[in-house]
Amino acid sequence: MREIVLDTETTGLDPLRGDRLVEIGCVEMLNRIPTGQSFHVYINPERDMPVEAFNVHGLSAEFLSDKPLFAAIADEFLAFIADSPLVIHNASFDVGFLNAELARLGRVALGFDRVVDTLALARRRHPGGPNRLDDLCGRYGIDLSRRTKHGALLDSELLAEVYAELAGGRQAALVLDTAEANAARLAGNAAVRQRPVPLPPRISPDEAAAHAAFVASLGEGALWKDYEAAEPEAVAAVG
């Protein structure tokens, strides 16, 4: 499956108050392995650069003054991401800025039903822990020595590594057997046994109903539907 890991840099925090995109970085992944294909562009925001934002990414108004406007790179950007799922850390921020830029051009907004938010994945896997990109890189032993400031392409490359860890991609890539062979090996392993008494549910009926309602609200094209479809097979495989 093709996925695009994406990150942006901006002039601030709120596109509704005049903040703009200044950098987009994307990394292509196939089956959660980077292919080496990427998209990277700096963008002229047509405004000044607040010092707070400059201190984060180091991109000055002078440096960006001769860079293309978003309108000039929109088609190339949209062609690169195509209809692939978008893997983004704290996705509401980046998608909000991208959609604000697309709206200025009268273009169709990016739907959240195609987004995998790694911040949400990290919070589920590491509840209560710090889950910024830096924190996750430290947790998984990913080298941060190149990262002196935020940069959209570098952060996308780092996030691709984090996503592989969160989703189990690195381990999956090392399994050379077929799914049938793995299932047979698990079935023959005496250590894998079905519990005589199932564990009680960890969520209440109200929580389960609220989750089902939320998933239904995402629409038929939501990525979550793929996980729902695969879940019964995964359960059956481990007994």
Q: How far is CA 99 from the centre of its chain?
A: 16
> Of residues 57, 89, 150, 211, which has the active-site annotation?
150
Tokens describing residue 87: 């893997």
Instruction: Name the strand (E) or helix (H) holding 63.
Output: helix 61-64
Q: How far apart are CA 154 and CA 70, in angstroms?
A: 20
Question: Which residue(s) pair with 7 in the sheet?
Answer: 25
Which H or E run includes 23?
strand 21-30
How many residues does the structure list for the chain? 239
By the 8 A CB rule, do 122 and 136 touch? yes
Query: Phi-psi region for residue 6, left (φ > 0), alpha (ψ -120 to 50) or beta?
Result: beta
Q: For this structure, is 40 an active site residue?
A: no
Name the residues annotated as catalytic. Answer: 150
